[in-house]
Chain A
Amino acid sequence: MQPNCHLLLQNIKEAIIMLDKDGYIQYSNPATTTITGYTANELLNNHLSLIYSNKEDSLRADYELRQAFKNGKFLVEGWKLSKNGDKFWCEISLTPLYNEQEEHVGYSCILHDTNDRKKHEIELRQSEERYRLMVEGVRDYAIFMLNPTGHIITWNEGARRTKGYSSYEIIGKHFSTFYTAEDLEDGKPERELKIAIATGKYEEEGWRVKKNGSVFWANVVITSLFNEQNQLIGFSKVTRDLTDRKENEESLRQSEERYRSLVEQVTDYGIFMLDEKGRIISWNEGARRMKGYNPDEILGKYFSIFYPEEDIMNGKPSHELRVAREVGKYEEEGWRLRKDGTMFWASVVITAVYNHTNTLIGYSKVTRDLTERKASERALRDSYERYRQLSEELKATNDELMLANQEMEQFTSIVSHDLQEPVRTIKSFLQLIDMKLNQGQYEDLKTYISKSINASNRMKELIQNLLSYTQVSKKEIAEDEIRVEELFNIALQNVKTTVETTNAEIIIESDVDTIHGDSIQLVQLIQNLLSNALKFTDVDSPRIMIKCNKEDGQVKFAITDNGIGIAEEDLGKIFEIFRRLNTKKEYPGTGIGLAICKKIVDRHRGRIWPVSEKGKGTTFYFTINEEKVEKLPLLQ
């Protein structure tokens, strides 16, 4: 028995110490050294208080020993101190020892090191405390415990805020307090607990009632709690007030819905989204109308489908996305393709779209078809241009008219003035005749009568010439193809008598077959010039040379005489109406012939000019178009 007892004391993990009646150590086993760090020798004859946490706490040790002696046993847990000063948690069991004579001789002391268990326990408690504090401190969630019957046993700050009850008001109450009348009638609280028990958890969103009677939209999670024996010990209940979130969500949803339908219904703009790679992920009505694709045809396709081949070869689509990514936006006007292959002039804005974490999620693209606008702009420009031209034409016409009007005014004043002269002469002589007759004088009457006749002849001549002059201006001029030879022949025929009486020599040199113009007027033109050539001469045999040749796309005529010529200072006056230049002898005429010539040439868009030297003859040149002229002047 003895060796066994020794073996037991040597190997047991509990420290076993024998104390004398006063608490001094008489024996300690090896485990004591392991636990306290002191060797057996170091402990021997030392008081048990050596290992107490308050060093030399003999008062406490004495008390405990006395308690052990009195009660037969004393158990205590507490901090003890090892040799190196570390605290360790242990259980001490003190028991009085008696010898065979029943005399009290000391105490047995068993130290049971519960340090590890205690640490765990402390950690657990600290952790629980943390959780408790945490739970209690949570403000946004109502977190509370229910007992198995559903009565509230804990209450946190979040619960107070959410539901409006303070913990003293609500602990002990049933959780159905928070349900609406309908839910209560429906037996909802009980059902929720049943579900939680059956499945471990019940979760829902629904209406709950606050202390003040108002309802709130709650997210509720009820978790059933079981102990190690799998007995239901209660429920945890976490409630969150979603009213704000729900309102936000709802308004967000509505706003999104509004924008979505707005965008979808826009018809004048193609509005669509591209993903970050440029694939089309949304498509509105405007895009459908503009580009001709239905959503199912286009969604998922790359947006480069809208670009002409040249742009694709140039990498334009990806360039546009790159610019949009780098600067946020890409804007341009350019040609884009419709589904049917036709092009339209588009205004394009590509905007990079980022999510809340600032990650690029794609692009929005807004396209507008400017073709019509451009077309109408062009039409407007064209019409403006047309009106401008028209107004310029009108202005030119107006100027022409004004000029014509001025000319007409001058013309009529000159005409009326000059026509009065012979009338006045006739009247004067008639009055003279009357006077003479009254006085019975008859000698000069015949002279007066013949002077009157001369004046009326002149009057007649003036009126005839005026008529032919106005005829040239008035008539729409013809555009006949006329043989030049024939023109000369007719004109010469008309002045035949004069040619014969003056014994004139006429030479014609022409290398032009035909010209275009009004044959009657052109005959008159040539005839007038020939008449002048025959008239203004003082030689016995007038020589007239008619030449006609092509020059600078026109036909140039020249009628040269060997007559009296024109003084240099008079060259500018010869085409004025009624103008008769000074000559040594009086030549008959009204001063209209050359004015008519000028008018005819003007109306044919030609040019007429004299080259002359006084006494050496005159050459009249004029040009006429060989071909038809687009438009002959209205007036002049």
Chain B
Amino acid sequence: MRKFKIIVVENDEDEQFFMKQGFDSSGLFEIITMVRNGDVLLEWLTDNTATLPDIILSDLNMPGKNGYDIILGIKGNPTYNHIPVIITSTSSTKTIVDKCLNMGAADYVVKPETFIEYVPYVENLHRLIEDKQLVRNAGGLPS
């Protein structure tokens, strides 16, 4: 089972806490960093181009650069545009899902009902990434 390097973007500190628990206990992901919005994410990426993640999981609604901004920022930058961005949010409103996918999101995953149910969420997320082969060159970092 491959372990993906992931960055989680989430503004809610409590949510962040429970997400981290879920990811850590599953052992399926290695969280490189957790940031509170797109502004911080892009700053981090600029500072850490040597250790780019396999995948970015981002909340949609955040103060500052939100999920949409992140999709545009990643997809519009040749250094990062190979990194799949998965949007995660509370509801599966079709117009919002469509908007994210149209803008270039790799997928859209609905958050669990409560913070405390992140383990099955993380397992499902891993399966999805593998099934869709969202991460291409296994193990290696992009050149």
Q: Do A and B come from one complex?
A: yes
Q: Indicate whether A536 reaches chain B with its CB closer than 8 angstroms.
A: no
Q: Mark B83-97, 1 if CB is under 8 A from A, else 0.
A: 000000111011110
Q: A425 and B12 in contact (CB under 8 A), knowing A413-B93, A580-B63, A582-B63?
A: yes
Q: Indicate whether A379 reaches chain B with its CB closer than 8 angstroms.
A: no
Q: How far is the CB of A574 from chain B (nearest CB, A)?
A: 12
How far apart are the CA atoms of A410 and B94 in the complex, in Å?
A: 10
Q: Mark B6-47, 1 if CB is under 8 A from A, else 0.
A: 000000101100100000000000000000011100000000
How far apart are the CA atoms of A414 and B15 in the complex, in Å?
A: 20
Contact in complex: B93, A416 (CB < 8 Å): yes
How far apart are the CA atoms of A630 and B20 in the complex, in Å?
A: 59
Interface residues in A, total, Cβ within 8 A = 27
B59 to chain A: closest residue by CB: A421
Q: Indicate whether A431 reaches chain B with its CB closer than 8 angstroms.
A: yes
Q: Indicate whether B113 reaches chain A with its CB closer than 8 angstroms.
A: yes
Q: Which B29-84 residues sit within 8 Å CB-CB of chain A?
A: 37-39, 60-66
Contact in complex: B116, A578 (CB < 8 Å): no
Q: Indicate whether A100 reaches chain B with its CB closer than 8 angstroms.
A: no
Q: How far is the CB of B14 from chain A (nearest CB, A)?
A: 6
Contact in complex: B96, A581 (CB < 8 Å): no
Q: A583 and B64 in contact (CB under 8 A), knowing A420-B90, A424-B90, A431-B116?
A: yes
Q: Indicate whether B126 reaches chain A with its CB closer than 8 angstroms.
A: no
Give the contacting residue for B95; candidates A410, A420, A591; CB below 8 A: A410
Q: A582 and B96 in contact (CB under 8 A), knowing A417-B89, A420-B91, A424-B90?
A: no
Q: Indicate whether B5 reaches chain A with its CB closer than 8 angstroms.
A: no
Contact in complex: A582, B93 (CB < 8 Å): no
Q: Indicate whether B121 reaches chain A with its CB closer than 8 angstroms.
A: no
Q: Indicate whether A435 reaches chain B with its CB closer than 8 angstroms.
A: yes
How far apart are the CA atoms of A429 and B115 in the complex, in Å?
A: 8
Q: How far is the CB of B66 from chain A (nearest CB, A)?
A: 8
Q: A417 and B63 in contact (CB under 8 A), knowing A427-B113, A428-B18, A431-B114?
A: no
- Give chain A residues whose Cβ lies under 8 Å from the Cβ of B115: 425, 428, 432
Contact in complex: A421, B116 (CB < 8 Å): no
Q: Which B93-110 residues sit within 8 Å CB-CB of chain A?
A: 93-96
Q: Mark A572-595, 1 if CB is under 8 A from B, else 0.
A: 000000111111001100010000
Give the contacting residue for B90; candidates A417, A451, A582; CB below 8 A: A417
Give the contacting residue for A416; candidates B14, B37, B38, B91; CB below 8 A: B91
Q: A427 and B114 in contact (CB under 8 A), knowing A414-B96, A417-B93?
A: yes
- Give chain A residues whose Cβ lies under 8 Å from the Cβ of B95: 409-410, 413
- Give chain A residues whose Cβ lies under 8 Å from the Cβ of B111: 424
How far apart are the CA atoms of A414 and B67 in the complex, in Å?
A: 13
- Give chain A residues whose Cβ lies under 8 Å from the Cβ of B60: 417
Give the contacting residue for A582; candidates B65, B113, B116; CB below 8 A: B65
A567 to chain B: closest residue by CB: B39
- Give chain A residues whose Cβ lies under 8 Å from the Cβ of B93: 413, 416-417
Q: Which A375-433 residues sit within 8 Å CB-CB of chain B?
A: 409-410, 413-414, 416-418, 420-421, 424-425, 427-429, 431-432
Give the contacting residue for A417; candidates B14, B38, B96, B113; CB below 8 A: B96
- Give chain A residues whose Cβ lies under 8 Å from the Cβ of B116: 428, 431-432, 435
- Give chain B residues whose Cβ lies under 8 Å from the Cβ of A429: 14
- Give chain A residues whose Cβ lies under 8 Å from the Cβ of B90: 417, 420-421, 424
Q: How far is the CB of A185 from chain B (nearest CB, A)?
A: 115
- Give chain B residues whose Cβ lies under 8 Å from the Cβ of A578: 61
Q: How far is the CB of B117 from chain A (nearest CB, A)?
A: 9
How far apart are the CA atoms of A508 and B89 in the complex, in Å?
A: 45
Q: How far is the CB of B111 from chain A (nearest CB, A)?
A: 7
Q: A451 and B14 in contact (CB under 8 A), knowing A418-B61, A428-B114, A582-B64?
A: yes
- Give chain A residues whose Cβ lies under 8 Å from the Cβ of B61: 417-418, 421, 578
- Give chain B residues whose Cβ lies under 8 Å from the Cβ of A418: 61
Q: How far is the CB of A572 from chain B (nearest CB, A)?
A: 12
B69 to chain A: closest residue by CB: A573
B18 to chain A: closest residue by CB: A428
Q: How far is the CB of B116 from chain A (nearest CB, A)?
A: 6
How far apart are the CA atoms of A409 and B95 in the complex, in Å?
A: 8
How far apart are the CA atoms of A445 and B28 in the complex, in Å?
A: 30
Q: Mark A421-454, 1 if CB is under 8 A from B, else 0.
A: 1001101110110010000000000000001000
- Give chain B residues whose Cβ lies under 8 Å from the Cβ of A435: 116
Q: A586 and B63 in contact (CB under 8 A), knowing A414-B96, A425-B12, A428-B18?
A: yes
Give the contacting residue for B91; candidates A417, A581, A582; CB below 8 A: A417
B39 to chain A: closest residue by CB: A582
- Give chain A residues whose Cβ lies under 8 Å from the Cβ of B114: 424, 427-428, 431-432
Give the contacting residue for B96; candidates A413, A424, A583; CB below 8 A: A413
How far apart are the CA atoms of A410 and B93 in the complex, in Å?
A: 10
Q: How far is the CB of A543 from chain B (nearest CB, A)?
A: 25
- Give chain B residues whose Cβ lies under 8 Å from the Cβ of A421: 12, 61, 90
How far apart are the CA atoms of A587 and B91 in the complex, in Å?
A: 25
- Give chain B residues whose Cβ lies under 8 Å from the Cβ of A583: 63-64
- Give chain A residues whose Cβ lies under 8 Å from the Cβ of B96: 413-414, 417
A589 to chain B: closest residue by CB: B63
Contact in complex: B64, A580 (CB < 8 Å): yes
- Give chain B residues whose Cβ lies under 8 Å from the Cβ of A428: 14, 18, 114-116
How far apart are the CA atoms of A410 and B66 in the complex, in Å?
A: 17
Q: Mark B103-143, 1 if CB is under 8 A from A, else 0.
A: 00000000101111000000000000000000000000000
- Give chain B residues whose Cβ lies under 8 Å from the Cβ of A432: 114-116
Known interface pairs A413-B93, A425-B115; 5 further A-B residue pairs with C-beta atoms within 8 A, sorted by A's residue number: A417-B61, A429-B14, A435-B116, A579-B66, A582-B39
A selection of 19 A-B contacts at a CB cut-off of 8 Å is A409-B95, A413-B95, A417-B61, A424-B111, A425-B12, A425-B15, A425-B115, A427-B114, A428-B14, A428-B114, A428-B115, A428-B116, A451-B14, A580-B63, A582-B37, A582-B38, A582-B64, A582-B65, A586-B63
Question: 10 smallest A-B Cβ distances: which pairs?
Answer: A582-B64, A580-B63, A428-B114, A428-B115, A413-B93, A420-B90, A582-B39, A413-B95, A417-B91, A431-B114
